[in-house]
Amino acid sequence: MSANEDAITNWFAGQRKLAKSDFPIGIGDDMAQIRLAKDTSVLITTDILLEGVHFDFATATLKQIGYKAMAVSISDCAAMATIPIAAVVSVGLPKGFGQRQLKQLHAGIILAADKFNCKLIGGDIAGWKTKKPFVINVAMLSKPAANKPVKRSGAKVGDCICVTGSLGGSGESPDYKHLTFEPRVKEAIEIAKMVTINAMLDISDGLSSDLNRICRQSGVGAIINAEDIPISPQAVRLSSPQAKKNKEPLKAALNDGEDFELLFTLSTKDCEKLLKNWNNKTAITKIGEITNTNKMQIKTADGKIKNLEISGYDHLKI
C-alpha cells in the first residue's frame, strides 16, 4: 500500500486551512496554485532527487541528472495542464565536487529548460562535509494555459481513464527511460484544448498508486483492463529469456513508476472525441473506467475481475 506518504500528506493538509480565494489548489496535488491578483495566478511544485534513490552515478551522467531533475518538475506542470515559466535549483554537493561538475549538471538543466522554455532564475549551492551523497531539488513555477489547472480530485463516475505513452521498466538498462523521458507538457495542453479533462496527474510512483490517488481524492473507484494497458518495450523485455529477471511486464507497467506519463479521466463523449481527433505521435490509450464502487479493480485477460493491488513506490515504506 502506498499509504504512508499519502497519509502524512493528508495530515499536513489538515493542519492549516488555506483560503480558497488565495490558494485555489493547496497541499496534495501535483502543484499548488497561488492567486496574486483577480486574474493572475501562479503554480508551484518542488521535487527532491536523491543519489541512490532517483539516480545513481554508475548509470547516470551529471548532465542526465540535471535533465531529470528539471523534467520531473516540468512533468508536474504537465500534470496540471499548465505552462512552465521558471525554476530555481538547489544542490547538496559531495566533498570535492567543483565547478567542472556543476557545469556538467547545468548542461542538463539547461537542456530541459530550453526545450520547454522554462527559465533557470536562481538556486542554492551547499556542500556536504562528506564524499557522499549528491542531492538536487528543483522548485518550478508555471502559469495556467487557456484551461483551468487540472486537479486530481475531479474524476466522475462513468469517466474514461486514459494514459499517454506506455508504462513500466523506466529504470531498466539500457534505456534508463527515467533519465531521458520527455515531459508531456505539449500533449497536456493540446488535450485540454480539445476536451475537458476532469482529473489528471503524472505517473511518478506507478499506475496502481497514482490511479488510487485520483480515486481517493475524487471519492470514486476504478476498473482497468489489463489487456488495454500500454506496456513499454522496456517492460516487455523484462520477461524475455535474455532479461533473466522473470519479472512480469504487466506488473512492471502497474507498479514500476517514474513513467512520467499522463493519467487522466474525462467523460465518455470527450474520450471518443479525443481518441478520434488525436493526431500526435504520443499515443493516448483508454485503459478503464471510473466506477462508483469505491474499489480499485482490474479485469484480467481471462475476463475475471480482481482487486487491484496498490504497490507503487512509497518513500515512507519502512
Count CA atoms within 13 Å of residue 100 on its CB side: 2
> Could you tell me which of 232, 178, 183 has the C-alpha nearest to residue 55?
178
How many whole angstroms separate alpha carbon 313 and alpha carbon 254?
11
Cell of 138: 528543483
Q: Does 21 bind a second copy (CB under 8 A)?
A: no
Beta carbon of residue 113, minimum distance to a second copy (angstroms, whole number) = 8
Footprint on residues 26-45 left by a second copy (CB under 8 A): 26-29, 31-32, 34, 36-37, 39-40, 42, 44-45
Q: Does 12 bind a second copy (CB under 8 A)?
A: yes
Q: Does 157 bind a second copy (CB under 8 A)?
A: no
Beta carbon of residue 316, minimum distance to a second copy (angstroms, whole number) = 6
Footprint on residues 117-156 left by a second copy (CB under 8 A): 119-130, 133, 135, 137, 139, 141, 143
Closer by beta carbon to a second copy, 34 or else 194: 34
> Could you tell me which of 147, 148, 159, 274 has the C-alpha nearest to residue 215?
159
Local structure of 49: helix, strand or coil: strand
Closer by beta carbon to a second copy, 269 or else 315: 315
Local structure of 281: helix, strand or coil: coil
Site string for a second copy, 50-79 (x = CB under 8 A): x-xxx-------------------------
Label residue 194 exposed, middle or buried (CB < 10 Å: 0-12, 13-18, 19+): middle
Looking at the DSSP assignment, which residues form a beta bridge with residue 98?
A: none
Closer by beta carbon to a second copy, 49 or else 226: 49
Beta carbon of residue 198, minimum distance to a second copy (angstroms, whole number) = 21
Is there a contact between 226 and 306 (Cβ–Cβ < 8 Å)?
A: no
Total Cβ atoms within 10 A of residue 307: 9
Amino acid, res. 267? S
Beta carbon of residue 87, minimum distance to a second copy (angstroms, whole number) = 9
Site string for a second copy, 83-122 (x = CB under 8 A): --xx-xxxxxx-xx-xx--xx--x---x--xx----xxxx
